[in-house]
C-alpha cells in the first residue's frame, strides 16, 4: 500500500498541534503531583526503589532500539536534543557518554522546565544546560557546531519537516553524530490516526523514503526500520525509522 507524505502544514495547524502538546503534558504533570505523589516519589528514589527523575515519554523504549546508545563516544563536547520534550532522550545517553555542553531545544521548553523531578529542571537549575525555545525551522545555531544532535519522534509535531531536517543536518560538524528516530505512517493508518485523541498534535506524516536524501552525507552507525509489529503503536504506525550516523 502506498505510503503518504505530509511534510508541511500551515502555521495555524502547527500552532494547534503545539497547544495540544502543551495541554497534554501540563495536565499529565498535574495529575502526577496530586495527593503528594511527588513527595512519595522522592522518598522512594532515595532508597533506590525508583529512578531519580520522574516521567518517561517512551525514552527507555527508544534507548533499547538504539542499542542502548553504546555507539556514542565516552565524551561529547557539544550536544543538542531538538524537540526534547519534558523528559528528554539525552538524559539516558549520559549513562554511556559524558556530555560537556548540552542544549535542550523545544518550542515548549519554558513550560517543561517548570515540571518537578525532571532532568530538564535539574539541569537548568544547576546551570548544566542551555535552553532554546526556537522552532526547529528557525534553529539559531551555527553550521558545523555540534558533536551530537538528537531528534527522536519530533517531526510529526513540526510545521515544515524538510526545513527542520536541513537545519538539523547543517548544525552537525564533520565527524559528529546525528541520531534520528521517527514513527512512520502508511495510508492504512489514517483511520486509526483520525480516531485517536492525539491526532491533532501530530500533523506531519512521513515514510522511510522521504528521509533518504538527508542521510546521504552520513556514515551509518545504526540504520534500520522496525516492522509494524515491532513499532510502539502497531495500529497507527507502519514502522519505525532508526538512524544514527557520523557526518562525513
Domain regions of the chain by residue span: 11-247
Average pLDDT over every residue of 125-143: 97
pLDDT band at 3 (very low <50, low <70, confident <90, very high): low
pTM recorded for the entire structure: 0.94
Distance CA 151, CA 62 (A): 11
Residue 195 pLDDT > 60: no
Average pLDDT over every residue of 22-26: 95
Say if domain 11-247 classifies as CATH 3.40.140.10: no
Distance CA 152, CA 236 (A): 17
Q: Collect all residues with Cβ–Cβ distance below 8 Å to 29 and sequence separation of at least 6.
A: 55, 86, 115, 116
Give me the pLDDT at residue 191, please.
62
Q: Sign of torsion, CA 31 34 38 43?
A: negative
Residue 15 pLDDT > 70: yes
Residue 221 pLDDT > 90: yes
Give me the pLDDT at residue 185, please.
85
Residue 64 pLDDT > 90: yes
pLDDT band at 6 (very low <50, low <70, confident <90, very high): confident
Q: Please, are residues 231 and 237 in contact by the beta-carbon 8 Å criterion?
A: yes
Give me the pLDDT at residue 1, please.
47
Amino acid at each position: 500500500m502506498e505510503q503518504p507524505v505530509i511534510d508541511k502544514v500551515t502555521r495555524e495547524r502547527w500552532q494547534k498541534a503545539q497547544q495540544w502538546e502543551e495541554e497534554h503534558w501540563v495536565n499529565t504533570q498535574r495529575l502526577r503531583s496530586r495527593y503528594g505523589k511527588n513527595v512519595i516519589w522522592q522518598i522512594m528514589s532515595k532508597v533506590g526503589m525508583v529512578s531519580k527523575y520522574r516521567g518517561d515519554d517512551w525514552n527507555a523504549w527508544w534507548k533499547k532500539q538504539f542499542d542502548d546508545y553504546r555507539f556514542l563516544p565516552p565524551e561529547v563536547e557539544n550536544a543538542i536534543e531538538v524537540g526534547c520534550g519534558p523528559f528528554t532522550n539525552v538524559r539516558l545517553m549520559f549513562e554511556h557518554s559524558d556530555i560537556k555542553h548540552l542544549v535542550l531545544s523545544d518550542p515548549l521548553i519554558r513550560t517543561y522546565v517548570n515540571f518537578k523531578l525532571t532532568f530538564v529542571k535539574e539541569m537548568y537549575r544547576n546551570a548544566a544546560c542551555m535552553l532554546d525555545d526556537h522552532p526547529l525551522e528557525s534553529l539559531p545555531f551555527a553550521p558545523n557546531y555540534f558533536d551530537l544532535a538528537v531528534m527522536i519522534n519530533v517531526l510529526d509535531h513540526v510545521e515544515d519537516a524538510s526545513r527542520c531536517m536541513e537545519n538539523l543536518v547543517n548544525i552537525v560538524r564533520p565527524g559528529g553524530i546525528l541520531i534520528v528516530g521517527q514513527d512512520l505512517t502508511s495510508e492504512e493508518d489514517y483511520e486509526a490516526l483520525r480516531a485517536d485523541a492525539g491526532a491533532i498534535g501530530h500533523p506531519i506524516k512521513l515514510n522511510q523514503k522521504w528521509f533518504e536524501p538527508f542521510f546521504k552525507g552520513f556514515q551509518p552507525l545504526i540504520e534500520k526500520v522496525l516492522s509494524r509489529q515491532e513499532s510502539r503503536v502497531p495500529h497507527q504506525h507502519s514502522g519505525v525509522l532508526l538512524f544514527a550516523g557520523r557526518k562525513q
